[in-house]
Amino acid sequence: MGVEPGRLSFSWISSAESTKFVEVVKDVTATVKALGPNNNFKKAADKVA
C-alpha cells in the first residue's frame, strides 16, 4: 500500500543473541535513516484539532 520496503523489519533474536541484536539495530536504523523521515502517517499541524 505504499510503505517503502525497508521501513518495516522483522527479526528473530533470542535473548542470548546480543551481538545479533546490535547488528540488526544498526542495520535497521541505517536503512530507515537512508529512507528519510516518514511523513505519510503524520497529520498536518493545521489539521490537528
Partner 1 sequence: MLGYIDKIREISKRLLDEGRVDMVIGFRKGTMPMMNEPSFVKNSGEVSRLVWDSNCGINLANYLTDRKEKIGVIAKGCDSRNIVTHLLENKIKRDNLVIIGVPCKGMIDRRRITAMFDAEVREVNEEGDTVTVKGAGFEKKLKKSDLLQENCSTCVHRNPVLYDELAAPLVEEQKDIDRYADVRRIEAMSPQEKWQYFEDLIAPCIRCYACRNACPLCYCPTCFVDESRPQWVGKSQDETDIRTFHFLRAYHCAGRCTDCGACERACPVGIKVRQFTSKLNKDCLDMFGWEAGVLPDERPPLDTFKPGDPGDFIK
Q: Which residues contact partner 1 (rule: CB under 8 A)?
A: 1-5, 9-12, 24, 40-44, 47-49
47: Cα separation from own chain's centroid: 25
Comparison of 16 and 41: residue with beta carbon closer to partner 1: 41
Nearest to 32 by CA among 9, 2, 1: 9
Comparison of 8 and 16: residue with beta carbon closer to partner 1: 8
Rounded-to-integer distance, Cα 49 and Cα 40, Å: 18
Q: Which amino acid is at 4?
A: E
Comparison of 16 and 44: residue with beta carbon closer to partner 1: 44
- CB 9 to partner 1: min, Å: 6
